[in-house]
Structure 1
Amino acid sequence: MRVAVANWHSHVVGGAESYIRGVVTALESAGIEVAMLSERESAAGREKIELSAGAPTWCVSDIGEEAALAAMRAWRPDVVYVHLIESTTLEARLLELAPAVLFAHSYHGMCISGEKTFRFPDVRPCGLPFGWKCLLHFYPNRCGGLSPITMWQDYLKQSERHSMLPKYSAIATASEYLRRQLIANGAKPERVHKLAMPVSATFTQAGSQPVASRTDETKRIIFVGRMGLLKGTGILLDSMPAVAAALNSKINLTFVGDGPGRTAWEERARRLEAADARINIEMAGWKKPEEIRAVLAEADLLVVPSVWPETFGLVGPEAGRLGVPAAAFDVGGISEWLVDGVNGELAPGNPPTAQGLVDAIVRCIRDPAVHQRLRAGALEVSQRFDTRLHVQSLIKIFQQVAEPELRRESESLAAVS
């Protein structure tokens, strides 16, 4: 079977590309021929998604859309596996090229801004299906920016994506939460599949026993992800003085990741450190998976402070493979891997508050016995997420959607002979 992967980037710039990199390797190991089409190669310094030697790759920004699609068509894929595509025109043409399977990483086609979040009068998830009524909420609930031109352009673009959802032969996603959102927005229920997410091989190399809780006074907390308002960077920073006071201990908070507002967050962190000697904050920047693993191995707690409805949050199970529990707001698909009192603690997410996050963090690491139990639970829960099982389920979906195409091809060859 031949599977052509389509994504906007060919380098690892986020969770979608991390997923693609790991799954491509597993698909090839299972005997699937893989090719890749990308829209751009603009992420200098980031790891490239590597295919096996000789596997074809096509980049639209290098050779143009027509040439890239012609080359893919000549390769004759049985399935096109679509991820994040910026151009709706390109996405529509991919749907015509072969049976297409979408992996829904986000809310494309389900929200004008793609964030599925009201920001006013408080931050909370939006559960409305996409449609013209979204325009009525855009300004009163501060769903996006303030430009009416941008709002209208984004609405038209998401309308195009919305109309494409029922045209996919299958849609895979990581959470039941996002599966329900897809169905509410027109995807055919029988075509939407929730799959247990794969954990990167970088993290599955960890041992089978969680490390013991530390006995020193310093608590080591880590954030991994894109730094920004909806990722909860600010609310996590705001929670640190109360966490230090409640635990009466030193706090080392490490941010692994980057974002457009990093300079502002760094300034805010320095002010917090100056006001409370117990708080130390490191902005470590973007790191490779093996470097993230090393940082997590030294952590007491992962915090996922996202205030928007995360579609899943794979960093949680990845940290769990190292016996690191998590504290997070109960938004989106988070509760599908984070269970209160088992592998961490959930904070109320509607609305999310700094105090709610403080309470969840403190419950995780105040009592050494509780913390050790959560470490064991984090490792146990993380075992449910396995690359081999994920790829097996994915191949079954590919076979189901490709079979009619393969049968027609076989009949055509038989007629010619």
Structure 2
Amino acid sequence: MHVVLVLDHAHINGGQAKVALDSALGLSARGHAVTVFAAVGPVDPRLEAAGIRVVCLGQDDIESTKNKLAFAVQAIWNRKASEALADELRRYDPADTLVHVHAFAKSLSPSIGRPIQASGLPCLYTMHEFFLVCPNGGFYDYPAKAICHRTPMSLSCLGTNCDARSYPRKLLRVVRHVGLDHVARLPALFRHVITISELQERVIAPLLPEATVFHRVDNPISVAKAPARSGPPGDFLFVGRISTEKGAPIFAEAARRAGVRPVFVGDGPSAAELKARYPESVMLGWKNAEQVKALMREARALVFPSIWYEGQPLTVYEALAVGCPVIVSDACAGREAVEDGENGFWFRSGDPAALAAHLSRLTDDALADRLSRQAHERYWADPLSVDAHLDRLEEIYERVVREAVGSRRSLAGEQLRRSLPSLHPETPPRALR
């Protein structure tokens, strides 16, 4: 099979790109021909080394652009990406090629829908976030610091400034969503949608066409199996972007109430303010993957207090894999990995008092040790391995391609039937007499 992976970035700049590029490498290693089509470089050198064809347009995203106005036009409808993708897809045979879209909202834009539809190639979409159905991509009202339950593109939605930066940027995203829905018609194009959590499917299903077929595929976790922590449990740990929607202020306040020291790994817009308000907080900044795993392995628990939905937060699974219990907000999909009271705890989203109660409970070393062992054993009983991820992808790819081939044959048969002269049962055509 030939798989064309479409995403914004040709290098790992976050969870979306990591999943897409790791799957590209895995699929190539299994003998599939793989093409990566992306807007933003640089290109991950592992792709070329694996013999993977890469088409990278060398464009900007919102972080790298120096011309905000030009990028606004690109974000709404990236004509260059549409034309380049059309040229690329003409190379492939619909009988054995599939287009898998991972990301478009940071640079490629909804314009990719037109060439995918014109190509006739079977396609599917992985819902890493919510841009396919929500203009701001997160069902989160940033100024209100709360999950948004408005119907996307309703009058209530259009009149609400939910953007993290400004209302004009919200309106730009609304214009892009009009193009997504009514010009590119992405929700109808992607009949097959991969989701990464039960919560995610529950949120988006009412907003997509009834004919949409959902497939659950867990993201792979890159953690080597090793023994769980053997020494005394350490600090409570937060890993990620230090921001309001990630619940960082809730953790800092809860830790103060529980009389424990909060440790933050990462950085973000709330970091300086939190350090000023909670000087007892330890701010370690960003660490590399191996350093983060080492910190998790020694921690008493990972605290994941996110107050928005999330998709499938990899940090939660990475913590469990190294034997670190997780205290997780009940509003986010991370709760699906945690059995309350067994390998961690749930707490009421946005409630520092509820979180503080669990932090206090876990100051008991014996309880922390028990949850640590359970976290390690439960994760490795059914690990989210790269092989399991690829097995599931191949199963779905085969189904999508088989369905597309069957549909083309049915259509061809119907067209042939209509093209033949109508046959009267008592008057066979001359050629048949």
TM-score, structure 2 normalization: 0.78
Gaps of 5+ in 2: 60-78, 413-433
Structure 1 residues 377 and 175: CA distance shift in structure 2, 3 A: same
In the TM superposition, what is the alpha-carbon distance from 1:145 to its structure 2 partner?
5.5
**Shift >6 Å, 4+ stretches:** none
Determine whether 1:158 maps to 2:177.
Answer: yes
Residue 37 of structure 1 contacts residue 57 of structure 1 at CA under 8 Å; is this kept in 2? yes
Which letter does structure 2 place at the counterpart of 1:197?
A: N
Q: Show the counterpart of 1:321.
A: 321
Q: Show the counterpart of 2:220.
A: 198
Q: For residues 310-338 of structure 1, give each alpha carbon's deviation from its aligned partner in whole angstroms, at most 9, with x where no partner exists.
A: 12212111111100111121113222112
Provide the secondary structure at the position in 2 that maps to 1:50: helix
* Structure 2 counterpart of 1:116, from 107, 131, 139: 139
Provide the secondary structure at the position in 2 that maps to 1:380: helix
Q: Show the counterpart of 1:402.
A: 401
Provide the secondary structure at the position in 2 that maps to 1:284: coil
Q: Show the counterpart of 2:90.
A: 73
Provide the secondary structure at the position in 1 that maps to 2:99: strand
Gaps of 5+ in 1: 274-278, 413-417
* Structure 2 counterpart of 1:374, from 371, 377, 381: 371
In the TM superposition, what is the alpha-carbon distance from 1:230 to its structure 2 partner?
0.8
Structure 1 Cα separation of the partners of residues 57 and 156 of structure 2: 32
Structure 1 residues 172 and 49: CA distance shift in structure 2, 3 A: farther
Identity of aligned residues (%): 21
Q: Show the counterpart of 2:431.
A: none
Provide the secondary structure at the position in 2 that maps to 1:193: strand
Alignment map for 1:11-410 (pairs within 5 Å): 11-41=11-41, 50=47, 52-61=49-58, 64-65=80-81, 66-76=83-93, 78-86=97-105, 87-97=109-119, 98-118=121-141, 123-135=145-157, 138-139=160-161, 143-144=162-163, 147-162=166-181, 163-188=185-210, 191-200=213-222, 203=223, 205-207=224-226, 209-212=227-230, 214=232, 219-243=234-258, 245=259, 251=261, 253-256=263-266, 258-259=267-268, 261=269, 265-273=271-279, 279-285=280-286, 287-349=287-349, 352-363=350-361, 365-383=362-380, 384=382, 385-404=384-403
Which letter does structure 1 place at the counterpart of 2:160?
A: F
Structure 1 Cα separation of the partners of residues 283 and 303 of structure 2: 15
In the TM superposition, what is the alpha-carbon distance from 1:368 to its structure 2 partner?
1.5
Structure 2 Cα separation of the partners of residues 56 and 268 of structure 1: 45
Which letter does structure 1 place at the counterpart of 2:305?
A: P
Residue 24 of structure 1 contacts residue 51 of structure 1 at CA under 8 Å; is this kept in 2? no
Structure 1 residues 331 and 54: CA distance shift in structure 2, 3 A: same
Structure 2 Cα separation of the partners of residues 100 and 323 of structure 1: 38
In the TM superposition, what is the alpha-carbon distance from 1:174 to its structure 2 partner?
0.9
Larger radius of gyration: 2
Provide the secondary structure at the position in 1 that maps to 2:58: helix
Structure 1 Cα separation of the partners of residues 164 and 369 of structure 2: 44
Task: Answer 1 or 2: higher relative contact order, Cα 8 Å, separation at least 6.
Answer: 1
Residue 10 of structure 1 contacts residue 48 of structure 1 at CA under 8 Å; is this kept in 2? no
Residue 85 of structure 2 contacts residue 112 of structure 2 at CA under 8 Å; is this kept in 1? no
In the TM superposition, what is the alpha-carbon distance from 1:165 to its structure 2 partner?
1.7
Structure 1 Cα separation of the partners of residues 360 and 348 of structure 2: 14
**Aligned length in residues:** 379
